[in-house]
Amino acid sequence: MRKNHEIDYEIHGEEMQCVEIELDPQETVIAESGSFMFMDEGIEMATVFGDGSGRAEGFFGKLMDAGKRLLTGESLFITTFTNIAAGQKQKATFAAPYAGKIIPIDLYELGGKVICQKDSFLCAAKGVQIGIEFQRKLGTGLFGGEGFIMQKLEGDGMAFVHAGGYVLERELAVGETLRVDTGCIVGFSGRIDYDIQFIKGIKNMVFGGEGLFFAVLRGPGKVWLQSLPVSRLAARILQYGTFKGKEEGSILGGLGRMIDGD
């Protein structure tokens, strides 16, 4: 039997998605600050200290929850949305912060635990705990791209995370291994073993342009991968915003733009 609130949902859109959460009376969804889009009249919004799961007891417990969120790069506070309308279902909608996909995760079906990127959490049913997962291996923390701390979602309710570009879902069998660019990992179920592997070959390291390390994911479990990490997108935008292209500032470049109609 589930202990977390049982919520219904519908995901809208393609490149810029939002998730519509349907709440029965007294049901609650928790959401990351800044993700709110709109809600029905019968929903009450409140800002709470910590992760909003309601499991922390006393001020010290809430302070610990808030500290964990701070370590993962999130706000000390989280927003709750509760249906207070008597006998009526109400809806609240939350939007992804950049182009990509929203991934629905049923923690009940995944053993109650999922590890994900530090900034990927969007919203979840009340009762889902948002914590931290420390990398157990020194090399993984130093070179794995995510540092020593990743985000941990625990419980038996629905949670929603967002990713950049297109999202691929892979189910790894026992002992099956997948080597991935460290930035392309969105999350993985709790039984997946996460490590790093040094890229072999001098030419690959110097001229490959893919960094020095792979992330190595070993099954059994489920893995979510993104085609466009936001860090890669930001780096490319910064590159074009900082340096002029080869044709810019040249006579040929000006003629080329005129021919193109720019």
Do the domain assignments include residue 254? Answer: no
Do the domain assignments include residue 2? Answer: no
The per-residue pLDDT for 55 is 56
Do the domain assignments include residue 253? Answer: no
The per-residue pLDDT for 50 is 64
Do the domain assignments include residue 144? Answer: yes
The per-residue pLDDT for 77 is 78
Do the domain assignments include residue 52? Answer: yes
Do the domain assignments include residue 194? Answer: yes
Do the domain assignments include residue 250? Answer: no
The per-residue pLDDT for 132 is 83
The per-residue pLDDT for 249 is 46
Do the domain assignments include residue 189? Answer: yes
The per-residue pLDDT for 53 is 61
Residue 24 structural domain = 8-242
Query: What length does the chain have?
Result: 262
The per-residue pLDDT for 27 is 96
CATH of the domain at 67: 3.60.160.10
Backbone dihedral region for residue 35 (phi beyond 0: left; psi -120 to 50: alpha; all else: beta):
alpha
The C-alpha atoms of residue 250 and residue 128 are separated, in whole angstroms, by: 57
Into how many domains does the chain fold?
1
Full pLDDT tens readout for the chain, 262 residues:
778 899 999 999 988 899 999 999 999 999 988 899 999 999 999 988 766 565 555 555 555 555 555 555 556 678 999 999 988 999 999 998 888 999 999 999 999 999 998 888 999 999 999 888 875 554 444 444 444 478 899 999 999 999 999 999 999 999 999 999 888 999 999 999 988 777 654 444 444 444 567 888 999 999 999 998 877 777 777 777 665 554 444 444 544 444 444 4
The per-residue pLDDT for 98 is 87
The C-alpha atoms of residue 26 and residue 147 are separated, in whole angstroms, by: 39
The per-residue pLDDT for 15 is 84
